[in-house]
Amino acid sequence: MELLTIGHSNYNIETFIKLLQQHQITAVADVRSHPYSRRFPQFNQSELQTALKQAQIRYVFLGRELGARSEDLSCYDSMGKAVYERIAATGSFTEGIQRIINGVKTHRIALMCAEKDPMTCHRSILVCRNLRQSGLTINHILSDGQLESQAELENRLLTKFNQKINPPQEAVQLLLFEPNPPQQDKTEINLEEAYHKQGYEIAYTKKDKQK
């Protein structure tokens, strides 16, 4: 069974629906914590739901279960930043994951959030990370209609963080000519560490951590 994801980005509604239809999507699971967009009102919940209904695509809101802005204060650190591992450990998140696993048995589902690039969105870094062991084939719909698999995204993730540790060879050669060349850190970031680092980088921070 396959699960897809999509970010609505700044698409017009016709382009968005065309991408869904290209991949035979029959249901959209909205995983935005707040299903509204000031900049792109076509993706406000009511307008989006109406447009999808006209295209015979079902809409389901799962932002309470699978959103990145949990209402559970224990999911935030002392600085008010959401910790994805804590969100994933909540009962509501587990319930949302199970609803997706059950839903793909009868619908061709696309998880929807806002970001165009799935690597900068919790739909892949939080939700799909925790769906990997379910046996689903996970693919992300890109702006040109092509698909990027979760495995391909993970390779990008590893490349991003390991490049920060081990600079390109050309840069290393230049460093060797310095009077006191720095020692290279040969330790590579593993996949779970990369997920954690990316999650921390993109996670929501509460404006008032006392609330």
For 29-58, what is the mean pLDDT? 97
For 18-29, what is the mean pLDDT? 98
pLDDT of residue 188: 78
d(CA 69, CA 148): 25
pLDDT of residue 209: 52
> Could you read off the pLDDT of 152-197 as tens digits, one per residue?
999 999 999 997 655 555 544 555 556 655 554 446 789 999 999 9
User: Dihedral angle at the C-alpha atoms of 137, 138, 143, 145, nearest 10 degrees?
Assistant: 10
Burial group, residue 169, by CB count within 10 angstroms (0-12, 13-18, 19+)? exposed
Confidence check: pLDDT of 27 > 50: yes
> Could you read off the pLDDT of 70-105 as tens digits, one per residue?
999 999 999 999 999 999 999 999 999 999 999 999
E-state strands within 8-146: 27-30, 58-61, 109-113, 137-141
- Any long-range contacts for 23-26 (C-beta under 8 Å, 24+ apart)? 23/108, 23/110, 23/141, 23/145, 23/147, 24/108, 25/57, 25/108, 25/109, 25/110, 26/56, 26/57, 26/58, 26/107, 26/108, 26/109
pLDDT of residue 184: 46
Confidence check: pLDDT of 210 > 50: no
Confidence check: pLDDT of 3 > 80: yes
Q: How many CA atoms lie within 13 A of 12 on its CB side?
A: 2
> Could you read off the pLDDT of 102-160 as tens digits, one per residue?
999 999 999 999 999 999 999 999 999 999 989 999 999 999 999 999 999 999 999 99
pLDDT of residue 13: 98
Confidence category of residue 208, pLDDT binned at 50, 70, 90: low
CA 124 to each of CA 56, 63, 90, 184: distance values in angstroms, whole numbers, following the listed order: 26, 14, 18, 31
For 10-34, what is the mean pLDDT? 98
Confidence check: pLDDT of 205 > 90: yes
Burial group, residue 74, by CB count within 10 angstroms (0-12, 13-18, 19+)? exposed
Confidence check: pLDDT of 7 > 50: yes
CA 108 to each of CA 48, 51, 97, 161, 186: distance values in angstroms, whole numbers, following the listed order: 18, 18, 15, 33, 43
pLDDT of residue 207: 81
For 16-29, what is the mean pLDDT? 98
